[in-house]
Structures are given as C-alpha cells and as structure tokens.
Chains A and B, each alone.
Chain A
Amino acid sequence: MTARDAFLNSAAEIDHGLAAGRPVHSNAHLDWLEDEAISILREVFGSFERPAILCSCGKDSLVVLHLAMKAAAPGKLPVPIVHIDTGHNFPEVIAFREHLVQKHGFNLIVGHLDDSIAKGTIRLAHPLESRNPYQTITLLETIEANRFDAMVGGARRDEEKARAKERVFSHRDSFGQWQPRAQRPELWNLYNTRIAQGEHFRVFPISNWTELDVWNYIARENIELPSIYYTHQREVIERNGLLVPVTDITPPRTGETVVTRDVRFRTVGDISCTCPVASTAATADEVILETITATASERGATRMDDRANDAAMERRKKEGYF
C-alpha cells in the first residue's frame, strides 16, 4: 500500500461514516477543550481589575460567552460584555444581541463606530467604504474609556496564520499594538498577566478550537445563534467566486445580476465585507456535516478583506485589530 492509498483509505472511511450518518470524528475531546477554556476565563476573572468579554454575536464569541457563564457558575457573569457596533450590522444580529441581554441580564457596553466618526477619530474615504478595518479605532477608544485591562475574544488559531502564532494571553502596549517579535513565552498554565499602566491583554480561551470543534460544541450545548447562521433565502450577487449579499451598503454594480439563493453565514462581521455560502443546513448538526466536507477555510470563503493580501491579518493585528 502506498502512502497515497492509505490516505485515500482514511478518506473513504470518512465518506463511509458520512453516508451512514454517524459522526466521523470523536467528540470526546470537547470536554478537554471546555475545561481549558473555563480555566483561562477564571484566570481572567481572578487576575485582572477590569476585564470584559468582546461579543460580536458571532458564533465564536457566543461560545466564549457560554463558557464564561460556566466558568462563573453557580455565580453570575462577573464582567461586562462589549459590542463594537460598526453601524453596518445585519439586523438579525442586533436583534439577537438585545435578546441575549434581556435573557441573561448582562451588562452590555456598546462602542459605536459612528461616535468615532462624529468625533473625527475615524474619517472614511467614502460613505459606503468597508467599516471593518476601522473597528480597531473604536475598540481601542472603548477600552481606554472604560479602562479595561483584559478583553476576552473568540479568535482561534486555526483561522489564519498570524493568529496561529498568537498567545492565549496576548499582551498589548499602550497603543493597543501586538508585537509579534516580542511575545511573552507562555509556559505550562503559568500565564504572565502582569501589565503596566495603560496596557492591556487580549485573551483567547478557544485558541485551540477548530471551526469543527466550535460547531460540535454548539450542537452539544444547544447554544443559540443569530438566525443568519442557518439556511435562509437571500438576494446575492456572484462576484469573484464569492456570494455578495445585496444590501443598502453593498448594492449591485452595473451589469451584475441579483439572484436569490439558499445561503447561510459562516462568520458574522460588518455587512460590507461578510459573505454567505450556499447552504441548506438548518441545524448545527447539518452545518457540521457541511463543515466536514468543506473545501475552503472559514475566512477564505466569506471574507473579502482577508483575500486582499496574504499578510492582511498580520498587519491589522499589529495595529490593534482583534
């Protein structure tokens, strides 16, 4: 048997499992990932004066929020949640945010990009420009205004290669910058959380999770997500191999044809740069089956901004992006 044959055999094993409708990867490791994340969150609760959880209402931040509630149980979530609102949101996502706050009684702090524009700290080149890169400015302003010393986020190392090198406790200087060449070594579980005045940490409890782990966990724990994560009909344009949603902010260009498709979103970001994928998956389990057979990575299939440049994420992170 050649190595290639062996690989094809294991691929056939996966296909066989899919056809039989049974999970092809064991999910027993989810308990370990859950424990690791809970432990990291308790480090945050115990080590910092003014920590907060960043919540875009995307699936990764909702998983982190779920884990944070478990980390605090049987007590209440001891920290506020922060949403950076670009003003270009999918309405379903804002509705979901309000629902969540009502249901759990979270302390919600919203940083509005429009406030930064009004103050003049953000100047758009043109009104319909993608607001995604500007989130960094509003985020840093929100951190400064609230004197946060740790911001918990849902970034995962498998998303992108600059993230693959980021620490779980990622130190930011007083300008919010990430310095990839000067990262603190992270040893055992002995996180070095010491900071100077004005600095802060970004903390990523689900660093070691993959997209599939996240979906398996959402299915196992019945975690509620905004409806756009599941199949729905939407007007889109096919552009450069992406399905671009038709909205006020992203209208069709001359000569483009608007079509209605069964789609779902794999990530939730600013309207101007987030694309859905064709899908009829209506439940987390159906998304898992699609994810197992997917051929494009999550950011690659859905983000216009990451495609621009192979090092785009690294550059944005250095400036203070999540």
Chain B
Amino acid sequence: MNTPSSSHDIHNRPLRFITCGSVDDGKSTLIGRLLYDSKALMVDQLDALGRARGAQSRNGQVDLSLVTDGLEAEREQGITIDVAYRYFATPKRKFIIADAPGHEQYTRNMVTGASKSDVAVVLIDVTKLDFTQERVALLPQTKRHTALAGLLRLQHIVVAVNKMDAIGFDATKFERVVRAFGELTASLEIVSFTAIPLSALEGDGVVAHTERTAWFQGPALLPHLESLALVEGHAGSHAHIAVQWVTRDNNDDHVRWVTGDVAEAAIAVGDEIRVFPSGASAVVAAIRTGRGTVQQALPGEAVAVRFDRQVDVARGDWIVAGSAAETSAPRQRAQATLAWLDTAPLTVGRRYVVRHGSRWLPARVTAISSRLDLQAGEWRDVGTTDAEDDWAAEPALAPTVNANDLVRAEVEFAQPLPLAAFAESTTLGSFVLVDPGTNATAAAGMIAA
C-alpha cells in the first residue's frame, strides 16, 4: 500500500551501533578514525585535544583515541564512566554510535547503549590472543560482549578484528579468530555475524581495504555498515500503540486524538482496534504524523489517531489492532531476563514499580532460577539448595543479585499485561524495574516466555 510518508523507510533511519571493547583494543582509535575520516571532527575539537591534559601525540599526529574521552573526571582517571553518543554521516547514511566504556560497570553501560542500537561492533585485539595453541581462545570480555549483544537481540553483529598491522596482516590468523568466534556464537544461538580484518590505527579495512588486506574478500567496515538492512516490527503481528498522551482538537469540537508510537505492524484508517485494558473497540477514522494526515502509518512512526466513536482512553493504555481472538491473552506472571543495574541489590519479594509500554504498575520478583555466566556464555541454575528432605534446614536464601548481574527470574505484575517474548517483540517484551524508594532504574527486563 502506498503511503504519503514514503520517506519513512526503515533504510532511511540512522544506523545505530554500539562499539564493544576497551580502549586497549583500539576502540577509541576506531571511533576516532570513523569520525576523522568522515569529516565529523572539526578544527577546534582537534585543537581541544591538543589542549587536553595528558594528551600525547603519536608521531606528531593527533591521538584519535582522545576524541572519545568526554568528561574531565574520565581524563584524570584514564577511564570512561558513561555511554557517549557520537554522530557522523556519509553520503549514504547517518550513523549514531553508542560508545560504551569497556571496564567499569560494563554490563550496565552496554545494556543501556545496546537497547537503542541495531548493530554491535565487537572489537577483538589480535595482539592479546595466543596463536600457539591449536584452538584460539577468545578473551572473556569478547564472550561477555557477544553474549550481551545476543541477549539484547541486536540485528547484526560485526566483528572488527583489530591491530592486524601488529601481526603482519596474517590471513591465516584472521581465519582462526573467525573460527573461534563462530564457535562462540553457535553456543549463544546467534545466527550470523560478519568479521572484518582491520587496523584502526593505520586505517586499513575501515573506510576501504588496502593492499595489505587485499586477501580479504568481504567489505571494509564503513561500507559494510552503510549497506546493512534493518527491520522494524515483525511479520504476523498486529499494530500496537502504547498511549502516551491524549490531545483535543483545537477546532473540530474538541474531539480526542490519541498519541503514541506505532509498533509491531502498520496501522491504517479503517482498522478495527481494541483498547487495553478496557476492551472497548473502535475503528481508526484518521491518522496524523509529523508529515501531515496519512492513510497508513508504519512501525516506528509517531502518530495521533482519531476513532470513529468516543472511547475512554488514557496514558498507560494500549491500542491494539485486530480482534481479541487474534492476539494472545494478557498475563500477570512471566519468566524474564533481568539485567540488574542498580547499586542496591535485588530484594526478592519486594514491591518495585515497573514500566511496560507507557504504563507504570507495581511488580515483584518472586523467584530467581538461573544466572548468566558471562565468562562462559552459559546459564547456570541458582538458588535451589537440596533441602527438601531436611525439615530442620533454613529456607534456601535467594541468591544475591548485584549491579551488572544477569538473571532469569519469575516476575509478578500487579495487573495482567499484553506481554510477548522479547525475541518476538522489543516493544511488548521489554520493561524497566524502578526502585520506588530512590526512583533509581534498577533493572532492564526482557520477557523470556
């Protein structure tokens, strides 16, 4: 179906990618090179680098890694504290980089950056690998980064095999790294990835391949990122809108327009909808986007929708297209993966508040079943002591869940919600857990089943 907003094509969206790795892996140098080579760095920013404390030039050139050190506190300590966002554009595409620091609070920062990314660029520093053994063992941090990228369901994984200059651009060693990475992704149920040999420091393989990487058949990093296809919504689903706010028409008898972002599938004038939780039904009479009045809006578009009749709708409700029989029933309990982010540990049984869509409601974690061992890339059962026959034993203590831990847990919501597995729907399958005392964002939640 043709729509007036034809430029709202998924391929026009800025490509958002997260860079996974530490400064030692050449991550900052790689970002610096992308910004520098795409002309996103301006004279005064390079000048500020020269003025920055601790700045050192390499062979009289600007140290590109300093481009990404944001805060004064970070420079002093030689660490990065928080996710920083960088922008550059090529004639083909606009890019948004979420630059997550490699060391401190890693899971917290990577989950934050990855939740808004389409692609993970995992950096591997070849100089840190041992090529004397038959099998190349990847570093624990590479396993961590890859496990998280898989867990957060990023659409593409790109492996930047960096510092190839330090190993003489050895094609065989590159192939061995790729094989090791292939074994890792298989164990994490990640279906595909693209590996690219490069030298961020010297530029080979970033914008284009050079004579030194001529043996490599695939694309260079930037052309690869330019060409990646994105998907939004998923086949077979119905349009969902988490109601953000209701506005009243300034002219037309103050008729109500419901606003929110379209998710899952397109919504069109004439579609039958239901309101969750009231169950009221109506037909879409008109749709507006930033571009004007449209017949149909696609997933990702911010819309205002008017119905053919008066319906009681408020922030926190869902607008769901299709009949009740076509969508799965709301549920009050679910298995979920929690990425714990708060410095205060999780208290099982405590009342937290949850945000799902635009709805806030109380919820609690009732049990923890397993924990992700990021070093091994495997889930391990926890919390079940073998005490059933021992009537005198203390009740099993719930395992401690601290910041940066990833656990599989049973969550109970105060009301039934239209949930879906995160693997099926990032919109219906995600929630945040907030500490009602401090208002700190305590956990990112992903519905498992």
Which A residues fall within an 8 A CB radius of B? 1-7, 10-11, 13-14, 17, 24-26, 28-29, 31-36, 38-39, 42-43, 45-47, 67, 70-76, 78, 157-158, 161-162, 164-165, 180-181, 183-190, 192, 194-196, 207-208, 210, 212-213, 294-297, 299-301, 307, 310-311, 314-315
Do residues A3 and B44 form an inter-chain contact, with CB atoms below 8 A? no
Q: What is the CA–CA distance of A6 and B404 in the complex, to the nearest angstrom?
A: 41
Do residues B247 and A75 form an inter-chain contact, with CB atoms below 8 A? yes
Taking CB atoms, residues of chain A closer than 8 Å to B72 are: 310-311, 314-315
| B84-124 with Cβ < 8 A to chain A | 84-87, 89-94, 96, 108-109, 111-112, 115-116
- One digit per residue, 1 when the CB lies within 8 angstroms of any chain A CB and 0 when it does not, for chain B 50-85 equals 011100000000000000011111000000011111
30 contacts between A and B (CB under 8 A): A3-B202, A7-B37, A29-B14, A29-B94, A31-B290, A31-B291, A35-B290, A42-B245, A45-B244, A46-B244, A71-B259, A72-B247, A75-B247, A157-B85, A161-B84, A162-B71, A164-B86, A185-B444, A186-B112, A190-B356, A190-B431, A192-B432, A192-B441, A210-B89, A296-B42, A300-B43, A307-B44, A310-B51, A310-B52, A314-B71
Which B residues fall within an 8 A CB radius of A? 5, 7-9, 12-14, 37-39, 42-45, 47-48, 51-53, 69-73, 81-87, 89-94, 96, 108-109, 111-112, 115-116, 202-208, 210-211, 220, 244-245, 247-252, 257, 259-261, 288-291, 300-302, 304, 315, 341, 353, 355-356, 358, 360, 426, 430-432, 434, 439-441, 444
Q: What is the CA–CA distance of A80 and B304 in the complex, to the nearest angstrom?
A: 21
The answer to whether A42 and B259 touch (CB under 8 A), given A74-B288, A75-B249, A157-B85, is yes
Taking CB atoms, residues of chain A closer than 8 Å to B431 are: 190
Do residues A181 and B73 form an inter-chain contact, with CB atoms below 8 A? yes
Taking CB atoms, residues of chain B closer than 8 Å to A11 are: 39
Do residues B70 and A165 form an inter-chain contact, with CB atoms below 8 A? yes
User: Which listed residue (A3, A192, A315) contacts B210, Cβ 8 A?
Assistant: A3
Do residues B84 and A165 form an inter-chain contact, with CB atoms below 8 A? yes
Q: How many A-B contacts at CB < 8 Å in the complex?
A: 223
Q: What is the CA–CA distance of A236 and B355 in the complex, to the nearest angstrom?
A: 54
Further 12 A-B residue pairs, CB within 8 A, beyond A39-B261, A73-B247, A181-B81: A2-B208, A14-B39, A29-B13, A34-B290, A35-B261, A38-B302, A67-B290, A75-B250, A188-B430, A294-B42, A297-B45, A310-B52
Do residues A164 and B115 form an inter-chain contact, with CB atoms below 8 A? no
User: Which listed residue (B210, B353, B360) contacts A2, Cβ 8 A?
Assistant: B210
Do residues B261 and A4 form an inter-chain contact, with CB atoms below 8 A? no
User: Which listed residue (B13, B84, B341) contacts A164, Cβ 8 A?
Assistant: B84
Give the 8 A-B CB pairs with smallest separation, nearest first. Answer: A300-B44, A3-B203, A6-B208, A46-B245, A28-B12, A75-B247, A311-B72, A297-B42
Do residues A188 and B116 form an inter-chain contact, with CB atoms below 8 A? yes
User: Which listed residue (B71, B205, B434, B440) contacts A161, Cβ 8 A?
Assistant: B71
- CB closest residue in chain B, given A2: B210
The answer to whether A208 and B96 touch (CB under 8 A), given A26-B91, A194-B439, is yes
The answer to whether A46 and B51 touch (CB under 8 A), given A17-B91, A75-B250, A192-B439, is no
Taking CB atoms, residues of chain A closer than 8 Å to B8 are: 31-32, 35
Q: What is the CA–CA distance of A36 and B85 in the complex, to the nearest angstrom?
A: 16
Taking CB atoms, residues of chain B closer than 8 Å to A32 are: 8, 12-14, 300
- CB closest residue in chain B, given A315: B72
Q: What is the CA–CA distance of A24 and B90 in the complex, to the nearest angstrom?
A: 9
Do residues A192 and B358 form an inter-chain contact, with CB atoms below 8 A? no
Taking CB atoms, residues of chain A closer than 8 Å to B37 are: 3, 7
Do residues A73 and B207 form an inter-chain contact, with CB atoms below 8 A? no
Q: What is the CA–CA distance of A315 and B73 in the complex, to the nearest angstrom?
A: 10
Q: What is the CA–CA distance of A275 and B242 in the complex, to the nearest angstrom?
A: 45
The answer to whether A212 and B245 touch (CB under 8 A), given A70-B290, A165-B70, A180-B81, is no
Q: What is the CA–CA distance of A2 and B81 in the complex, to the nearest angstrom?
A: 35
Q: What is the CA–CA distance of A13 and B288 in the complex, to the nearest angstrom?
A: 38
The answer to whether A74 and B42 touch (CB under 8 A), given A17-B91, A188-B430, is no
Taking CB atoms, residues of chain B closer than 8 Å to A189 are: 261
Taking CB atoms, residues of chain B closer than 8 Å to A78 are: 247
Do residues B7 and A28 form an inter-chain contact, with CB atoms below 8 A? yes
The answer to whether A194 and B353 touch (CB under 8 A), given A1-B210, A74-B251, A185-B108, is yes
Do residues A10 and B207 form an inter-chain contact, with CB atoms below 8 A? yes
Nearest CB of B to A116, in Å:
28
Taking CB atoms, residues of chain B closer than 8 Å to A296 are: 42-44
